[in-house]
Amino acid sequence: MEAQRTLRRPISCVGIGLHSGCKVNLSLKPAGPDYGIRFRRTDMGNFEVPATVSNLAGIQLATGLARDQVSVETVEHLLAAIVSMGVDNVVVELNSPEVPIMDGSAAPFIYLIQEAGVKRQPKGRKYLKIVRPIALSRGDKRIAIYPSEHFKVTYSVSYDHPLLRHQSRTLRVTEESFVEEIAPARTFTFLKDVEMLRQNGLALGGSLENAVVLGETGVLNNALRFEDEFVRHKILDAVGDVALVGYPVIGHLVAHRARHSLHTEFAAKILEETQAWRLIEETIDALPVPVAVPVAVKSAATL
């Protein structure tokens, strides 16, 4: 039986919200078995918002949650890091409505979790195992999940931009593969959209320090971390959004040109399609032993 896991000790960092531009303190704290992942607003009387599809709200450029009008924004990169590190139970304390963007990737959150350490708990973990395909499409945007022995993601993107005509990648998501191949991939935006975002009061904390910005012919940042950093970041987003299902998923997720709105609508659809999955509690090899922190992740975390 694979045990549930939480952090060994609390850990904190400070950053800014990508859209709000506000400074925010983030703390990750250990939690008991079956607690799940819950955001706690310390500036709102420690009100808790569990990271589940039932609390989805305001999905546009990032994934937001809300309960009783208390909101938490831009949760997806942190959620992707938490679930990919095999952490089931954690309190995420914030003193502002938005999770800090850090360097635009999940690498700083991976670094925090590795610093805190992860420990097993005396309770078995449940997995949501897909036994029949589930699919959802909106125009040319598609997402589906198929039965598989492991959690795998295939993502493809295509944009009207010379660097991004087409990128596609398939990855079996394990702690090791996520840390090395996905976590460092940064969020991206198009220069032509930045002004529009700002006029709408969004991306106020955005800069070349926390996003890859695509100009007419290339990136404004000095370098990409991977040649296909864009599609890797889409996999990161999908892992974080699908985490709102509330259980680790065993299945092959396939997405084309999807966005947060489709990822999260799909997470809700998975839970609704109760004939297409089973909850299981058994040993699988989805969680390998912890790996050493790659140098690239360490340096990214210090940005």
**Shortest distance, position 260 Cβ to Zn ion, whole Å:** 8
- CB-nearer residue toward Zn ion: 237 or 265: 237
Examine the residue annotation and report whether 161 is marked as an active-site residue of this protein: no
Of 234, 268, 206, 274, nearest in space to 21 by CA: 206
- CB-nearer residue toward Zn ion: 101 or 250: 101
SS3 of residue 283 by DSSP: coil
- CB-nearer residue toward Zn ion: 93 or 237: 237
What's the one-letter identity of residue 91? V
- CB-nearer residue toward Zn ion: 102 or 130: 102
- CB-nearer residue toward Zn ion: 96 or 187: 187
Instruction: State the helix-helix crossing angle for 76-84 and 107-116, rounded to 10 degrees.
Output: 40
98 binds Zn ion (CB under 5 A): no
What's the one-letter identity of residue 301? A
Residues 76-95 that bind Zn ion (CB under 5 A): none
- Output the CA torsion 256→257→261→262 (10° steps): -20
**Long-range own/partner contacts, residues 196-201 (CB < 8 A, 24 or more apart):** 197/61, 201/19
Lookup: tokens for 53? 């599809």
- Output the CA torsion 118→13→75→271 (10° steps): 20
Active-site residue, selected from the candidate residues 77, 252, 256, 260: 260
Residues 42-71 that bind Zn ion (CB under 5 A): none
229 binds Zn ion (CB under 5 A): no
Under 8 Å between Cβ of 254 and 263: no
Residues 176-195 that bind Zn ion (CB under 5 A): 187
What's the one-letter identity of residue 300? A
Separation between Cα atoms, residue 216 and residue 231, nearest integer Å? 19
**Shortest distance, position 101 Cβ to Zn ion, whole Å:** 9
**Measured CA distances, 61 to 49, 135, 289 (Å):** 20, 22, 34
SS3 of residue 100 by DSSP: strand
- CB-nearer residue toward Zn ion: 31 or 258: 258
103 binds Zn ion (CB under 5 A): no
**Shortest distance, position 247 Cβ to Zn ion, whole Å:** 22
Q: Could you say which DSSP state residue 290 is in?
A: P
Residue 116: alpha-carbon gap to chain centroid: 19
**Measured CA distances, 269 to 85, 143, 174, 239 (Å):** 25, 11, 24, 16
**Shortest distance, position 106 Cβ to Zn ion, whole Å:** 9
2 binds Zn ion (CB under 5 A): no
264 binds Zn ion (CB under 5 A): no
**Shortest distance, position 13 Cβ to Zn ion, whole Å:** 18
Separation between Cα atoms, residue 81 and residue 87, nearest integer Å? 9
The site that binds Zn ion (CB under 5 A) totals a number of residues, namely 2
Residues 231-250 that bind Zn ion (CB under 5 A): 237
**Shortest distance, position 191 Cβ to Zn ion, whole Å:** 18
Which residues are identified as catalytic? 260
- Would you tell me which residues interact with Zn ion (CB under 5 A)? 187, 237
